[in-house]
Amino acid sequence: MDSWTEMSAADLGRGIARGDIDPLALTQHFLARIAAHPHKDRIFTVVTADRAIAEATAAASRAQAGARLSPLDGVPISWKDLFDSAGTATEAGSALLAGRRPDADAAVLGAATAMGLVCLGKTHMSELAFSGLGLNPITATSPNVNDPGAVPGGSSSGAAASVAFGLAAAAIGSDTGGSVRIPAAWNDLVGLKTTSGRISLQGVVPLAARFDTVGPLCRTVEDAALLLAALEGGQAIDLSGTKDLAGRRFAILKTIADADLRAAPRAAFTSALERLQNAGAEVVTFEFPDLALAYQEAGPLFPGEAYGTWRDQIEAAPDKMYPPILDRFRAGRDFSAPDFVAAWRRIDAIRADWAKATAEFDAVVCATSPIMPPNIDRLMNDEDYYVTENLMALRNTRVGNLMGTSAITLPTGVPSCGIQLIGPPMGEEALLRLAVSVERALA
Told to judge if 155 belongs to the known catalytic residues of this protein, a careful annotator would answer yes
> For residue 442, which of 368, 358, 359, 357 has the smallest C-alpha distance?
368
Told to judge if 61 belongs to the known catalytic residues of this protein, a careful annotator would answer no
Report d(CA 318, CA 307) in Å as an integer: 12
Answer yes or no: are the C-beta atoms of 269 and 302 closer than 8 Å: no
DSSP letter for each residue of 58-120? HHHHHHHHT--SSTTTT-EEEEETTB-BTTB---TT-GGGTT---SS--HHHHHHHHTT-EEE
Told to judge if 240 belongs to the known catalytic residues of this protein, a careful annotator would answer no
Cβ contacts of 346 within 8 Å, gap of 6 or more = 293, 294, 297
Report d(CA 194, CA 401) in Å as an integer: 9
Q: Which listed residue (80, 126, 142, 437) is catalytic?
A: 80
Answer yes or no: are the C-beta atoms of 413 and 268 closer than 8 Å: yes
Q: Which listed residue (179, 196, 416, 437) is catalytic?
A: 179
Cα angle 101, 107, 109; round to 5: 75
Cβ contacts of 172 within 8 Å, gap of 6 or more = 77, 78, 79, 80, 83, 108, 109, 112, 159, 214, 215, 216, 217, 227, 231
Report d(CA 405, CA 401) in Å as an integer: 6
- Residues labelled as active-site residues: 80, 155, 179
